[in-house]
Amino acid sequence: MPVPLPDESLLSWLDHLSTVYGVNRTIAAQACGATRSHDNGVRVSASSAQSVVFGMGDDDVRRIRAATGLMPAAVRRMTWTRFAGSALPEKVRTAAGADNYRTVKSSWIDPGELRFCPQCLDERGGRWPLAWSTPWVFACLRHQCYLLPGCPVCRRTVRAGEIDLANGACRGSVRDPVRREVRPCAVPYRDMAAPLLRDPLLTNLQERLDGYLADLEPCPDTTRADLSDLAAMADLALFLATPDHLSGADLVVLERFAAFSRRYSAASGRLMPRKDRDAPEMFVRTACLRVAAQVVFSKDPWSAALELADFASRPLIRPVRLLHQSWIKRPPQNTTARLSRIVSAVCAPTSTGEGRKASTGVDQRAPGQTPC
Tens of pLDDT, residues 189-213: 999 999 999 999 999 999 999 999 9
Question: pLDDT confidence of 180, banded at 50, 70, 90?
Answer: confident
Q: What is the mean pLDDT of residues 358-369?
A: 43
Amino acid letter at 230? L
Of 97-101, 176-180, 191-195, 342-346, the one with minimum mean pLDDT is: 176-180
> Given this model, what pLDDT does residue 351 score?
64
> Given this model, what pLDDT does residue 118 score?
95
Is pLDDT at 359 greater than 60 in this prediction?
Answer: no
* CA proximity to 165, closest of 15, 283, 41, 48: 15
Measured CA to CA, the distance from residue 159 to residue 149 in angstroms comes to 9
> Given this model, what pLDDT does residue 368 score?
42
Amino acid letter at 334? N
Residues composing the chain: 372
Question: pLDDT confidence of 372, banded at 50, 70, 90?
Answer: very low
> Given this model, what pLDDT does residue 366 score?
44
> Given this model, what pLDDT does residue 369 score?
39
pLDDT digits (tens, 9 = 90+) for 224-281: 999 999 999 999 999 999 999 999 999 999 999 999 999 999 998 999 998 888 889 9
Amino acid letter at 101? Y
Q: Maximum distance among all alpha carbons in the chain?
A: 65
Q: What is the mean pLDDT of residues 317-334?
A: 92
Which residues fall within 8 angstroms of residue 279, CB to CB, at 6 or more apart? Answer: 110, 113
List, as one string, the DSSP characters of 87-120: TB-GGGGTS-HHHHHHHHHTTT--TTB--B-HHH
> Given this model, what pLDDT does residue 161 score?
83
> Given this model, what pLDDT does residue 40 score?
66
Q: What is the mean pLDDT of residues 59-87?
A: 93
Most confidently predicted of 151-160, 206-215, 300-309: 300-309
* CA proximity to 294, closest of 280, 309, 305: 305
Is pLDDT at 79 greater than 70 in this prediction?
Answer: yes
Is pLDDT at 149 greater than 80 in this prediction?
Answer: yes
Question: pLDDT confidence of 165, banded at 50, 70, 90?
Answer: confident
Is pLDDT at 358 greater than 60 in this prediction?
Answer: no
Is pLDDT at 219 greater than 80 in this prediction?
Answer: no
Torsion angles phi and psi, residue 361, rounded to 5: -95, 0
